[in-house]
Amino acid sequence: MTEPTTRRIAIEPLSRVEGHGKVTLLLDEAGAVREARLHIVEFRGFEAFIVGRPYWEVPVVVQRLCGICPVSHNLCAAKALDAVVGGVPPPSAVKLRRLMHSAQLLQSHALHFFHLASPDLLFGFDSDASRRNLMGLVERHPEVAKMGVMLRKFGQQVLEAVYGKRVHGTGAVPGGVNKHLSLEARDQFVSQVPQVKAWALEAVGLARRLTEVNQARHRGFGAVPSNLLGLVATDGSLDLYDGVLRGVDAEGRVLFDGVEAVDYRALIREEARPWSYMKFPYLERLGPDVGWYKVGPLARLQLCDRLPTPLAEAARLEFRAAYPGVTHAPLAYHWARMVELLHAVEDLERLFADEGLLHGDLVATGARQREGIGIIEAPRGTLIHHYEVGDDDLVTRCNLIVSTTNNNQAMNEAIRAVAQRYLSGHEVTEGLLNHVEVAVRAFDPCLSCATHAMGQMPLEVTVVDAGGAVAGVGRRGEA
């Protein structure tokens, strides 16, 4: 009896995402997709080499995980280490941190939607690959490309003024921040807000129209029901910087609510698998098979009771009306992302009116502690930093559960659903393979942030003889 013939297809590297990864598809002899996996193929050992470093270095070091969302890691690490220095950041410091956070969200969401995702949405998933890219966008839709550039530019300029640099600054420190916003910079930004807000409203409208035009495809594309996880304020409104953890099941029923950051370990467990350097988190009470969840804009707009800014709240209500109940369609992330971008602009406008950005205490310290946990809502979703520090001020333990890691199983389920729907029984073309990449891009993954290993890194060495035959295989550290 002969073994069934299988065919392996690799999409490598994934394009228009941050970091390096690949997707492998396994097709049987009839051309049906039997397996689809997202592999994270780069490795960064931040959780290991942070150990032994002074805790005050950590907020600056960990942001080197990424060039797209460094502010998120800087803020989350500083929040965790507030507890270590025993300080509650003064009101001015919290306002400045929130300013950094909203500026980061604005520039990151603009980059993803306009420059990474919009070529698929505007040209079509299986359109000519030579134009389905940023240069094609500039040529065919210059006004859209420019809007994305200008929105991102504004966010980065705000970051430069308060965070120190547009990328890899030093704004947040344990116990607070290290500088105020200058009056001149504040006034300059205030003068630009009306135009930036107009662009943000236009971006929401564009995302809504693209969804409506492609409604039939968008609703079912890669949709797999799951739990949702995220932060909300104590009154149930969206809070991207602080708050408590809320989780709901696939139908929207509350699983838990009001869980403080320090108690995240009672909710979440992480599982390692041998074919990826990214771990697979899940809700412990439900187990790894059904306890996985989604995070990020799509989860946040469905978890919260309302948005605290008026234009974005009106946009959220339109989004919820278009998707009654709970939607699990990955392509709905794009519309949700633009609603959050509008919220970020409104939040910046609110903060610019606060004199606390210009003066006030910047840092607070108190009784020294040995452990700190920080959680924020980064652009891509819930971000957790957890540190333990010895009496000598050196880090003894570091655990990072980043947004993309929290979405790991959701991304794998989405690409499997898309591959089985669009590739099974068809001749595999570049356009069809791009459907799988579209599913990955919808989550806006930051693959470099998410790389991680449990124990030893798996290593496989294959020995091939002069004729090309495999003479032997040696493995080390395989889970």
- Report the 10 Å Cβ neighbour count for 259: 16
Q: Which residue type sits at 338? A: M
Note the helical H segments in 141-292.
Answer: 142-163, 183-213, 215-220, 287-290
Q: What is the DSSP letter of 466?
A: T
Q: What is the CA radius of gyration of the chain?
A: 23
- How many Cβ atoms sit within 10 Å of the Cβ of residue 194? 10
- Residue among 154, 225, 221 nearest 194 (CA): 154
Angle in degrees, CA 97, 98, 102, rounded to 5: 120
Structure tokens at 475: 């493995």
* Euclidean distance between the first and the last CA atom of the chain, given in angstroms as a whole number: 32
Tokens of 458: 């798996």
Answer yes or no: are the C-beta atoms of 297 and 273 closer than 8 Å: no
What tens-digit pLDDT sequence spans the chain (479 residues)?
455 567 888 888 777 776 677 888 888 888 888 888 888 766 667 888 899 999 999 999 998 887 778 899 999 999 999 999 999 999 999 999 999 999 999 999 999 999 999 999 999 998 999 999 989 999 999 999 999 999 999 999 999 999 887 788 888 999 999 999 999 999 999 999 999 999 999 999 999 999 988 877 788 899 999 999 999 999 999 999 999 999 999 999 999 999 999 999 999 999 988 878 788 999 999 999 999 999 999 999 999 999 999 999 999 999 999 998 999 999 999 999 999 999 999 999 999 999 999 999 999 999 999 999 999 999 999 999 999 999 999 999 999 999 999 999 999 999 999 999 998 888 888 998 899 999 999 999 886 665 544 333 333 333 334 444 444 443 434 33
Indicate the burial class of 447 (C-beta count within 10 angstroms; 0-12, 13-18, 19 or more).
buried
Domains in the chain, please, with CATH? Answer: 46-442 (1.10.645.10)
- Can you give the pTM of this predicted structure? 0.90
Percent helix, strand, coil in the chain, to 5, is 45, 20, 35
Q: Rounded to whole angstroms, how far apart are CA atoms 122 and 117? A: 9
Residue 79 Cα distances to 32, 72, 334, angstroms: 48, 10, 28
How far apart are the C-alpha atoms of 76 and 101, rounded to whole Å?
10
